[in-house]
Every structure is written in C-alpha cells, then in structure tokens.
Amino acid sequence: MLPTNSSRAPDKTKDAEAEQLIGNEIGSQQNAIYKLTQAVLVQEMALKEMKQKNEYLEQCVEHHKSESNRGAFSKMMGGNKPAPQPPSLHISQVHLVVLCKQQQALLSAWSPAT
C-alpha cells in the first residue's frame, strides 16, 4: 500500500547539499529506506484513523446535542436514536511504540556527534 499522492507532489528543485547528506546517511545505514518508508506508511494510517476518530467524536457531540434537545415525552414515545458507531481502528499502541523507537534510532544515527 504505497501512497498515491506522491505522484501528485509538486516538482521542486532539490537542495544539493541536503540531497548529498541524505544520500550519504541513507546509504550508510542498512534498511534505512525500508524503515523510513514503513514510518511514512504507518504515519499515514495513523493520521487516517485519527481523522476517522475525530469525525466519530463530532458525530457523538451532534447526537448528544440533538438528544438533549428532545423533550421527555418525545424520548418516551420516540425511543432513542442510535448513537454513532465508532470507527474500526487498525493501528495498535504497540505499532506506534515500535514506530517511535525506529524513528528515534534513525534520528540519533543521523545526529552529528557533539
């Protein structure tokens, strides 16, 4: 599952110094491209799930507002409107912890020695 929007990214000129630094650092680390790609994909999945969760929470707020505006008689006779169903989430906390550790390892390997 590769991101489809990468082909739509604007064509920008590259910073030659940054490109050389990135090439040297990625080239010197085993599996760096895999880890970076994995990080991007997991972040995209997490962002999508957070958007879904946000939409669900907004729907819950609207549902509770509309329910609180109904009168007692209306609630007795009309029953309750079903609450919105939560989205199914696929990323676990374990995945996010692993991702964070991988990113920290990559960043610490790229940080200049002080």
Q: What pLDDT, on the 0 to 100 scale, is given for residue 107?
A: 66
C-alpha–C-alpha distance, residues 47 and 51, integer Å: 6
Q: What pLDDT, on the 0 to 100 scale, is given for residue 58?
A: 95
Q: What pLDDT, on the 0 to 100 scale, is given for residue 1?
A: 45
pLDDT along the chain (114 residues), means of 10: 54 84 80 83 87 92 84 69 77 68 68 52
Domain ranges in the chain? 32-110
Show Cβ contacts of residue 69 under 8 Å, excluding neighbours closer than 6 positions: none
pTM of the model: 0.53
